[in-house]
Amino acid sequence: MRFLGAIATALLVVGAVGAAEIPLAERRSGYSFMKPDTKTMQDDDTANPGMLWVLNGETLWNRKTSAADKACADCHGNARASMKGVAARYPAFDKATGRPIDLEQRINSCRTNHQQATPLPFESRELLSLTAFVARQSQGAPIETGADPQLAPFVAKGRELYMQRQGQLNLGCANCHDDNWDKRLAGAAITQGHPTGYPLYRLEWQSLGSLQRRLRACITGIRAQAHDYGAPELVELELYLMSRARGMAMEAPAVRP
């Protein structure tokens, strides 16, 4: 009987909850789901629109700001050396707040504490540019986020949020990105949701955007209440996603459809 079959399936699925994550050999960046011309756009620095933000970020890196009259470069020197691999470790544990902070928040904490400047708003051109410039220095580096044992409870919290069903459509991130990543949602490839390329240029946005912007879009998509930018929940999700992508290569600034 079809109906009893459905119940048996339901029980099997319940039994499988908490199943293993995608093994490293099967982890696929959103890049691998793209059409050849979009891949070329990402690969070619002269065609990648994200490079405009990276170049702007380099200018800001060297510009003195506010009361302290210090540029990022005055403390950190040449970013190609000092920022190499840094983005591949974020979000990281912040001693001052006892919580994980993402790369944008880390940059803003330098602005407040070391430059005596006001924090840059999330998704502002300046913050995206500085983040893209710093993240670019990790291009090709393997993601290492989550190695710090102090982060463990926050990774666990992020995973819980990732599994939780929410919103009017009552879906969890895992329903799409773990269970259906080989399928299509209204024609769009559903990927494994690895945050390897942020901040990235999305053709749909016609702009660079942060990982938090992407997460808010998925949360609104399932008709749940999107958390405010900078909310602990978004940082915990970022942390879980990055630690879930451990070993994958950083691609910022990536391009996505």
Partner 1 sequence: MLDPILAGVLLVLPGCATAAELRSYAVTGDAIPQSLTGMAGDAARGRALVVERSSTCILCHNGPFPEQKFQGDLAPDLSGSGSRWSEGQLRLRLVDASRLNAETIMPSYYRVDGLTRVGTLWRGKPILSAEQIEDIVAYLASLRE
Q: Which stretch binds partner 1 (CB under 8 A): 78-86, 137-145, 149-157, 216-224?
A: 216-224
Known binding positions: 72, 75-76, 110, 173, 176-177, 214, 218
Nearer to ligand HEC, 157 or 256 (CB): 256
Length of the chain (residues): 257
> Which is catalytic among the residues 68, 163, 218, 222?
218
253 upstream amide cis, omega within 30 of 0:
yes
Known binding positions for substrate: 214
Q: Which two tokens stand for residue 126?
A: 């300046």
Measured CA to CA, the distance from residue 148 to residue 174 in angstroms comes to 24
225 binds, among ligand HEC, partner 1, none (CB under 5 to 8 A by kind): partner 1
Considering the rule CB under 8 A, would residue 220 count as an interface residue with partner 1?
yes
| φ/ψ of residue 189, rounded to 5 | -65, 130
Q: String of b and e for 172-191 (b: at least 16 CB within 10 Å)? A: bbbebbbeebeeeeeeeebb
Q: Please check whether residue 103 is in contact with residue 135, taking contact to mean a CB–CB distance below 8 angstroms.
A: yes
Measured CA to CA, the distance from residue 57 to residue 52 in angstroms comes to 9
Considering the rule CB under 8 A, would residue 170 count as an interface residue with partner 1?
yes
Q: Please check whether residue 121 is in contact with residue 112, taking contact to mean a CB–CB distance below 8 angstroms.
A: no
Q: Which residues sit at the interface with ligand HEC, rule CB under 6 A?
A: 30, 70, 72, 74-76, 86, 92, 106-107, 110-111, 114-115, 130, 134, 162, 171, 173, 175-177, 185, 188, 190-191, 193, 195, 197, 214-215, 218-219, 222, 237, 241, 256
30 binds, among partner 1, ligand HEC, none (CB under 5 to 8 A by kind): ligand HEC
Taking CB under 8 A as the criterion, which residues in 3-42 touch partner 1?
3, 6-7, 9-10, 13-14
154 is catalytic: no
CB atoms within 10 A of CB 73: 16
Measured CA to CA, the distance from residue 133 to residue 111 in angstroms comes to 16
**Residues with a known catalytic role:** 218
Q: Which residues bind partner 1 (CB under 8 A)?
A: 3, 6-7, 9-10, 13-14, 164-171, 175, 179-180, 183-188, 190, 220, 223-226
